[in-house]
Structure 1
């Protein structure tokens, strides 16, 4: 008796997610494009049906992708966005028209990709991973929706990342820092070499400020592929910035023109620089200046959940997915932007991250740290987080709580007891996602 095909059953998003999670997890990396390329070839190469801006870097990729998406939507384009990981709903990874893909379209994308994936799985000693499947689903869903442009965030690195089967005419490179060193290499140059792999022959690459050595490597890669490299601070840049209301106002010297007094509904100097790169990326794609009114509307309304996301209330709660020292440094600077106040931080981090480096960056701007865990099996136990925190902050500023929900309660009570106190939740995308659910978001 033959086994029913996977598509013979009625599927919903929960069942599709369960099946995807049964594959290799995102944290298990096999550096090859062979499997994802084979799948997309069987699908008819859907990633060739639209133009794309491909985004890499150590921090800020999701926010930059969201800004690119917002600008292009305001200009009337039909836009797809692929980002990872998600905070609370797997459908966040695939956005079409500025909204998460519908449950029906998500299931349909899985069903469209599955026969090709099963064919590749049968012929390969390594089955497609969770991430490879979601990339294939995104590219297929974008094609089915007839989008004009995709904003695609790299998952990790660039050269061997599954998203890199797309031939994007524009590559955007955010600052290169130290993260995922076990996969990408121990130095910034090793990591930059991987990230440079998204710069395709003849493409235009825009990069944030980098160290001189990293910039030299990126330029050499671009030259070898007959691509152009435009550098922040030389070819485009931030010419003005001031904190204002629910975000900030920025002025930008773009590749194609100057943009004066653009509202940006995100906090932090790092988000201002992310906006600069998003603007340059869109200019590179359009090969012209962005209409100022459209840019102001786009960035004045953009949202990036879990990235210095300020929830109003008493006490205020700030959610930020910083998970490496560079991200924590940007977070600390942004907290200073918001104004000095007693800050009780809830921290849960993964075991493969530089927790000590993050805590050093946060120490000057937090009053107390509540050390806890998130629901991932990779999460450090609270006693390990607390041990690291005591070495940086001293025992009197560290509290250990086993459960994230209880940690949020503890932090809220402590912040409420301090005049003008606020709660900060950070350390991991998973931590912030779970906190958002617990807070009813």
Structure 2
């Protein structure tokens, strides 16, 4: 499989980044992501992780954290979304996108595992879930010291929420995704606040109004 064929295959699945107004809670189930990663040997585990959620500033916050870690001589993998020019921008090492041949090779490795999961009872994996698994495989192969992982649209059921982070960051929460994550800002805040897993150090930006209370309450 060449690079373009690999991209076409990944994009052949449901891509909810392009579907405004979909029913978030009804469509996502972390179990299928967990099954896929288990078949791959759990590549998301075994390295330090910084997990970043929020409505605004996730990408820039992730980039700043990755830059600081790299300046401290750590090897850093950065996973963000969406991409601007090429899908390879979503997973970088030292801020360099994954090479086309590495992307195609890892898709070849993923494909049979994805097909097994998709034949099961949990529903088909999405484009974002497949890319997230690919990112974890890439960082595992590269033996990064840290992986800095930005959530996608959601929190509680987001594909990235399988990680076991040392540090969680919640940036500002806004009305951007009320059609996806909840009917009002408080519900969006509850979904975003559900991203941090039990145990890690959590840091969040100042939140105005009721959204400022929800992460603490969770």
Same fold (TM over 0.5): yes
- Deviation track 1:344-394 (CA, whole Å, cap 9, x = no partner) reads xxxxxxxxxxxxxxxxxxxxxxxxxxxxxxxxxxxxxxxxxxxxxxxxxxx
What SS does the aligned partner of 2:194 have?
A: helix
Figure out how many residues of one structure are paired with residues of the other and give that number.
211
- The match for 1:191 among 180, 188, 201 is 188
Q: 2:7 maps to which residue?
A: 17
Q: 2:64 maps to which residue?
A: 67
- Deviation track 1:132-170 (CA, whole Å, cap 9, x = no partner) reads 100010011111111110111111121111111111121
What SS does the aligned partner of 2:50 have?
A: strand
Alignment of 1:160-239 (within 5 A): 160-221=157-218
Q: Distance in 1 between matches of 2:209 and 2:49?
A: 28
- Deviation of 1:56 (Å): 1.0
Structure with max Cα Rg:
1
- The match for 1:159 among 156, 161, 167 is 156
Q: Distance in 1 between matches of 2:89 and 2:155?
A: 21
Higher relative contact order (CA 8 A, sep 6+): 2
- Deviation of 1:176 (Å): 0.4
C-alpha contact 2:178 2:185 (8 A) present in aligned 1? no
Alignment of 1:35-184 (within 5 A): 35-124=32-121, 126-184=123-181
Alignment of 1:334-413 (within 5 A): none
- Deviation track 1:201-222 (CA, whole Å, cap 9, x = no partner) reads 111111101024223221122x
What SS does the aligned partner of 1:46 have?
A: coil
What SS does the aligned partner of 2:197 have?
A: coil
Q: TM-score, normalised by structure 1?
A: 0.47
List runs of 5+ in structure 1 lacking aligned partners. Answer: 1-10, 222-441
- Deviation of 1:97 (Å): 2.3
List runs of 5+ in structure 2 lacking aligned partners. Answer: none
The list of structure 1 runs, each at least 4 consecutive aligned residues, that deviate by more than 3 angstroms after superposition, is none
C-alpha contact 2:47 2:145 (8 A) present in aligned 1? yes
Q: As a proportion of its length, which structure holds more strand?
A: 1
- Deviation of 1:125 (Å): 5.7
Aligned-residue Cα RMSD (Å) equals: 1.3
